[in-house]
Amino acid sequence: MIKVLVSGFHGSMGTKAVQMIEKDSELALVGVYSPNASADDKAKYNLPADCQVFGNLADIQTDATVWVDFSIPAGAFANVKFALEHHIVPIIGTSGIGEDQLHELSEIAKQNQTNGLVVPNFGLSAVLLMQFAKQAAQYFPDAEVIEMHHGDKKDSPSGTAVNTAKLINEGRKANPQMYPDASETYPGARGADIDNVAVHAVRLPGYVAHEQVLFGGQGEALTIRQDSFDRESFMHGLNIAIKNIAKLNGFEIGLENVL
């Protein structure tokens, strides 16, 4: 039995995580955390009788071995730091954590000899898209990323898009053409430059999580696209991550590390 604490259980992804854990006989939900937690949450969210509800990091005392974080960027760093320092393996689904913070968390993980996993996207289709994009970049160094999410997503671009751009750059065997004459009539028209990959973020109602990578070559083009139509699709990847933390070797990024 793997004992799990979910941080950010009020949110849409946190709520789905709680439900998935409760349905799996191999997992046990032993705690939930949110700075906005209240005494009514246990009944409101139909939590198990023995599940502890915490509203302050300093109050957390738990025998959980896995910390699932679906909080917000502003609080995720402190949450993960707490988990690592208490030898709880964090699985981080919260995007928007800065590069400097990720480096610091990696160092904290080393100091405490605790593994951790940052997951830009729990959807298996998104993981495959990123891997395919890295392979395609060997032959098509010129690429752009368009990511489309629901209107209330806190960060832009998405963690998935940022990671996709980094993997494309890793996979390149030649430098992309930079097109210096492609000036912006309006600032931001060419998107964000991440490792010489233009990344465009779309935020609209009706969308959940979608991404396409456009590759251009001499006289041809390649498009790779994935679509997540329901947040339920992310729970399969989360379940895999929780059950395979033994495969981790330090503080790693990407669901592929536990597949």
Integer Cα distance of 107 and 101 in angstroms: 10
- Rg from Cα positions in the chain: 19
Strands (E), 196-236: 197-203, 209-217, 220-228
Largest alpha-carbon pair distance within the chain?
Answer: 64
Residue tagged active-site, from 16, 149, 200, 210: 149
- Cβ(148)–Cβ(200) under 8 Å? no
| 3-state SS, residue 161 | helix
Catalytic residue at 44?
no
3 carries an active-site annotation: no
By the 8 A CB rule, do 143 and 191 touch?
no
Amino acid at 82: F
Q: Which of 16, 153, 200, 210 is catalytic?
A: 153
- What φ, ψ does residue 190 adopt, rounded to 5°? -90, 5
What is the three-class DSSP state of 251? strand
CA-CA distance, 5 to 83, in Å (whole number)?
10
Q: At what angle do helices 73-85 and 99-112 cross, to 10 degrees?
A: 10
Which amino acid, one-letter code, is at 170?
Answer: E
Q: Which residue numbers are catalytic?
A: 149, 153
